[in-house]
């Protein structure tokens, strides 16, 4: 029985609200409500009754044991202190997580949020079945919720920022509860994510360190994503738990006869780390399940690599590797080791790996000539070694066009001399080079992080970090290509990524944040920007300018930038597909000066001005998009701008859904323009507008 003491009418209403919620929820994993009664309590005769009588609302509920999830965490902590191991098996924890997720899915499907996920609200029956309880702060679901309730330690980041939220706050709370069980420690990851949006990446290592699978760690990381839309829905969580619980012995073996160089039949996909791998890349030997194989954008060098079914034999490569240790008596500096690499190649020596010990190194600028051998790997040990280079030009210049790798090295540029007026200082300059940089860090007190130039340049930056750069994080220019994947750009003073002069790199799964000006700037260039988060920059999120600029912006999240979310100008022709442009401090998407934009399946929400603004002879085709909750109009067309707007939801904006003025023109067909503060439309006299089959109030 749960007793709620009420001293005023507000508390009585609070108690009755919980009863109302419980009456609508009947599920095996939710504590069942049976009945309630009210007890009137008066003060004793020996005491002066100042406040009058109080009420106690008593909820008669299903009997659970006295044990809660918090008690199990305490038990596991004691067991860990005594034995050094976890008290519970992964299968048990996954079973509990599935039951809890099933309860949340049931709640969400019926239009409620729990909003107070914490270990003490997860109960167990005497038979050991998990039950979710305490619906005192539950509420009906829906976009736009802003009241902050619950337990602060388990708050999602959007609750800490007092932003609107949805049912993903419960996914976050579930993730925190089970992260506490898995790691046996409390961690303020919600506040850590506000300063570093990729902080949840460390969750994987924390879970694996406690003896659990990497797949479970990846699931926890996803549930604790900084932004709600990055968290999986409850149905997806249940599906992933089922895959983690499935016995590995049930994974079918390939039909072909095994070969010593063939991947074993029970190899797990290297991308999702859950399903059985069925395809292998013959070049990099990465293994993929059927679903991940479809997502080729996740795979390095996707255009050139070939796949084979896992049952087919691959050519065996027996290669010896010469390792050069730095520092050592033979190779005291990185420069001496690189010189030896050239000698080894000329004498047809085996492949070379330069291994750099952890430490802080003050080195002279490095230069890799065009005749440098291919296949060299420069690898830093953990913790990452740091190269500090004093230079007013380029610290590390690579003119070699072959394939080499640099792994786990931090480069930092300083200068004790004044800069020449025409100097272009940078940490790394790649001239026609196709090197690969993995887990590297770049920072500069005076210049840019990396400059990529030349038609043959096609480098790869994988899981790199460009931070504290005085100018540009990464600059691609002069028809260069390249891939920037799963990398982070933070606190770059001019632009996180600048692409110009017909360059066309692919920018995939990156984070560009906290720059003083633009996040990603595309000038006379056509990069592909995919699945990337561009947030909290001092200027615009993404800028596209120039008649030759035609970037593809796909599945990106552009949010909380100080100017426009996406700014298009000077005859540019970008395609913006399946993106979210949220919380822009000015316009969500600004199109001007003869730019021509295609916007499809996008969400433009929460801008401080209009959702989209098209003017100065610019044109836009807007289809299947949702433009809601902006402070001004949903779509504003002016100054000879022209819009073709079909099948969009344009609702709940602060002014009209559509505002056309000052010579603007357009065609609006089959749009939902209801529930805007000042009506569906305001079309100024003299503006040529075709208005067909739109839903209005």
pLDDT in tens, 204-213: 989 998 999 9
298: confidence class by pLDDT, cuts 50, 70, 90: very low
627: confidence class by pLDDT, cuts 50, 70, 90: very high
Q: CA 587 to CA 581: how far, in whole Å? A: 10
End-to-end CA distance of the chain: 48
Tell me: the pLDDT tens digits for 152-165? 678 888 888 878 88
- pLDDT tops 60 at residue 629: yes
Tell me: the pLDDT tens digits for 28-39? 888 766 555 566
Tell me: the pLDDT tens digits for 75-104? 999 888 888 889 999 999 999 999 999 989
Tell me: the pLDDT tens digits for 214-250? 889 989 998 998 888 888 899 889 988 988 887 654 3
Closest residue by Cα to residue 261 from 306, 319, 317:
317
Burial class (CB in 10 A: 0-12, 13-18, 19+), 396: buried
Closest residue by Cα to residue 657 from 610, 623, 614:
610
Average of per-residue pLDDT across 506-511? 94
Average of per-residue pLDDT across 600-613? 94
Average of per-residue pLDDT across 624-645? 96
Q: CA 381 to CA 284: how far, in whole Å? A: 22
Close Cβ partners of 620 (under 8 Å, ≥ 6 residues apart): 589, 591, 596, 597, 598, 599, 612, 614, 641, 642, 643, 644
Q: CA 602 to CA 606: how far, in whole Å? A: 13
Between 449 and 43, name the one with better pLDDT: 449
Q: CA 281 to CA 279: how far, in whole Å? A: 7
| Catalytic residue IDs | 116
Residue 189 main-chain phi, psi, to 5 deg? -65, -25
Between 293 and 216, name the one with better pLDDT: 216
Q: CA 500 to CA 207: how far, in whole Å? A: 42
Burial class (CB in 10 A: 0-12, 13-18, 19+), 316: exposed
Task: Please spell the DSSP secondary structure of 336-389, one letter per residue.
Answer: HHHHHHHHHHHTT--EEEEEE-SSEEEE--EEE-TTPPSS-EEEEPSSPPEEEE
- pLDDT tops 90 at residue 553: yes
Residues in the chain: 697
Give Cα separations from 367 to 330, 364, 395 (angstroms). 20, 10, 8
pLDDT at 142: 41
Q: What percent of the chain has pLDDT over 70?
A: 77
Tell me: the pLDDT tens digits for 124-181? 887 778 888 765 444 444 433 444 444 567 888 888 887 888 889 899 999 999 999 9
pLDDT at 346: 47
pLDDT at 46: 40
**Are 589 and 568 within 8 A, CB to CB?**
yes
The least confident of 45-59, 219-233, 460-474 is 45-59
Average of per-residue pLDDT across 283-309? 52
> How far, in whole angstroms, is CA 155 from its chain's centroid?
18
Percentages of the chain per state (helix, strand, coil), in multiples of 5: 20, 30, 50
Helix (H) or strand (E) holding 449: strand 448-453
Q: Which residues pair with 647 in a beta bridge?
A: none
CATH number (3.40.630.10, 1.10.3470.10, 3.10.310.10, 1.10.510.10) of 69-245 reads 1.10.510.10
> How far, in whole angstroms, is CA 530 from its chain's centroid?
12
Task: Please spell the DSSP secondary structure of 250-281, one letter per residue.
Answer: GSPPPSSPP-TTSPPTTPBPTTTSSSBP-EEE
The structural domains of the chain, with segments of one domain joined by +, span 2-61, 69-245, 323-503
pLDDT at 81: 84
**Are 577 and 555 within 8 A, CB to CB?**
yes
The Cα diameter of the chain in Å comes to 104
Q: CA 533 to CA 505: how far, in whole Å? A: 17
Tell me: the pLDDT tens digits for 373-391? 988 999 999 888 999 998 8
- pLDDT tops 60 at residue 299: no
Residue 255 main-chain phi, psi, to 5 deg? -75, -25
**CA quadruple 389, 497, 524, 369: dihedral sign:** positive
User: Is the omega angle on the peptide bond into residue 194 within 30 degrees of 0, that is, cis?
Assistant: no
Q: What is the mean pLDDT of the chain?
A: 83
Burial class (CB in 10 A: 0-12, 13-18, 19+), 335: middle
Closest residue by Cα to residue 492 from 520, 456, 468:
468
Give Cα separations from 536 to 324, 336, 395, 523, 689 (angstroms). 43, 43, 30, 21, 36
The answer for 569, left when phi > 0, alpha when psi is -120 to 50, beta otherwise, is beta
Average of per-residue pLDDT across 638-658? 96
Close Cβ partners of 332 (under 8 Å, ≥ 6 residues apart): 326
Average of per-residue pLDDT across 298-304? 43
Q: Would you state the structure tokens that stand for residue 662, as one six-digit string? A: 């000052």
pLDDT at 249: 42
Within 10 A of 609 (CB to CB), how many other CB atoms are there? 19
Q: Would you state the structure tokens that stand for residue 438, as one six-digit string? A: 């993995």
533: confidence class by pLDDT, cuts 50, 70, 90: very high
SS3 state of residue 168: helix
Within 10 A of 59 (CB to CB), how many other CB atoms are there? 19
**Are 541 and 566 within 8 A, CB to CB?**
yes
Between 346 and 573, name the one with better pLDDT: 573
Closest residue by Cα to residue 604 from 535, 570, 650:
650
């Amino acid at each position: 029985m749960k007793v709620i003491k009420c001293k005023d009418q507000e508390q009585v209403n609070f108690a009755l609200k919980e009863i109302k919620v419980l009456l609508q929820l009947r599920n095996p994993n939710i504590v069942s409500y049976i009945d309630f009664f009210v007890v009137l309590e008066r003060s004793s005769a020996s005491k002066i009754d100042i406040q009058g009588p109080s009420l106690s609302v008593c909820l008669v509920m299903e009997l659970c044991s006295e044990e809660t999830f918090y008690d199990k965490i305490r038990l596991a902590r004691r067991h860990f202190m005594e034995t050094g191991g976890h008290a519970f098996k992964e299968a048990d924890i996954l079973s509990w997580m599935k039951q809890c997720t099933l309860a949340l899915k049931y709640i969400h499907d019926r239009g409620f949020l729990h909003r107070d996920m914490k270990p003490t609200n997860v109960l167990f029956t005497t038979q050991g079945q998990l039950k979710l309880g305490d619906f005192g702060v539950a509420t009906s679901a829906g976009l736009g919720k802003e009241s902050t309730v619950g337990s602060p330690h388990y708050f999602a980041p959007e609750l800490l920022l007092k932003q609107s939220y949805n049912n993903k706050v419960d996914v976050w709370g579930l993730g925190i509860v089970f992260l506490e069980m898995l790691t046996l420690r409390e961690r303020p990851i919600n506040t850590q994510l506000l300063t570093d949006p990729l902080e949840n990446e460390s969750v994987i290592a924390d879970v694996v360190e406690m003896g659990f699978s990497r797949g479970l760690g990846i699931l926890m990381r996803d549930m604790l994503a900084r932004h709600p839309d990055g968290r999986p829905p409850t149905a997806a969580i249940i599906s992933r738990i089922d895959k983690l619980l499935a016995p590995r012995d049930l994974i079918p073996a390939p039909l072909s006869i095994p070969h010593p160089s063939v991947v074993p039949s029970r190899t797990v996909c290297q991308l999702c780390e859950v399903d059985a791998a069925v395809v292998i890349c013959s070049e990099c030997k990465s293994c993929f399940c059927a679903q991940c194989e479809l997502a080729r954008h996740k795979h390095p060098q996707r255009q050139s690599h070939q796949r084979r079914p896992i049952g087919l034999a691959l050519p065996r490569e027996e290669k010896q590797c010469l390792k050069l240790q730095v520092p050592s008596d033979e190779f005291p500096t990185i420069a001496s080791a690189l010189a030896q690499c050239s000698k080894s190649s000329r004498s047809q020596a085996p492949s070379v790996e330069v291994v750099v010990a952890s430490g802080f190194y003050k080195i002279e600028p490095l230069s890799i000539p065009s005749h440098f051998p291919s296949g060299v790997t420069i690898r830093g040990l953990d913790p990452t070694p740091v190269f500090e280079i004093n230079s007013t030009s380029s610290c590390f210049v690579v003119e070699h066009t072959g394939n080499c790798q640099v792994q786990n090295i931090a480069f930092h540029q300083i200068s004790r001399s004044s800069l020449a007026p025409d100097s272009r200082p940078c940490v790394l300059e790649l001239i026609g080079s196709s090197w690969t940089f993995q887990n590297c860090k770049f920072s500069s007190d005076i210049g840019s992080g990396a400059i990529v130039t030349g038609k043959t340049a096609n480098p790869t930056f994988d899981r790199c970090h460009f931070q504290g750069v005085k100018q540009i994080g990464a600059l691609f220019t002069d028809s260069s290509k390249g891939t920037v994947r799963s990398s982070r750009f933070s606190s770059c003073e001019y632009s996180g990524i600048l692409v110009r002069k017909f360059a066309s790199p692919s920018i995939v799964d990156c984070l560009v944040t906290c720059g003083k000006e633009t996040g990603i700037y595309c000038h006379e260039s056509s990069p592909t920007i995919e699945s990337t988060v561009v947030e909290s920059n001092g200027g615009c999120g993404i800028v596209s300018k120039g008649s030759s600029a035609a970037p593809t912006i796909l599945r990106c999240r552009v949010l909380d930038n100080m100017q426009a979310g996406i700014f298009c100008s000077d005859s540019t022709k970008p395609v913006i597909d399946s993106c979210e442009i949220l919380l822009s401090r000015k316009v969500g998407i600004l199109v001007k000066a003869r730019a021509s934009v295609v916007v499809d399946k996008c969400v433009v929400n929460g801008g401080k001005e209009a959702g989209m603004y098209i003017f100065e002879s610019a044109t836009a085709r807007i289809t299947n998009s949702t433009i809601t909750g902006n402070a001004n109009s949903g779509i504003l067309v002016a100054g000879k701008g022209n819009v073709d707007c079909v099948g969009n939801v344009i609702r709940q904006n602060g002014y009209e859904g559509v505002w056309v003025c000052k010579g603007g023109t357009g065609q609006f067909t089959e749009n939902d323009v209801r529930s805007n503060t000042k009506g569906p439309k305001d079309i100024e006299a003299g503006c040529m507008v075709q208005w067909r089959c739109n839903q209005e109030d």
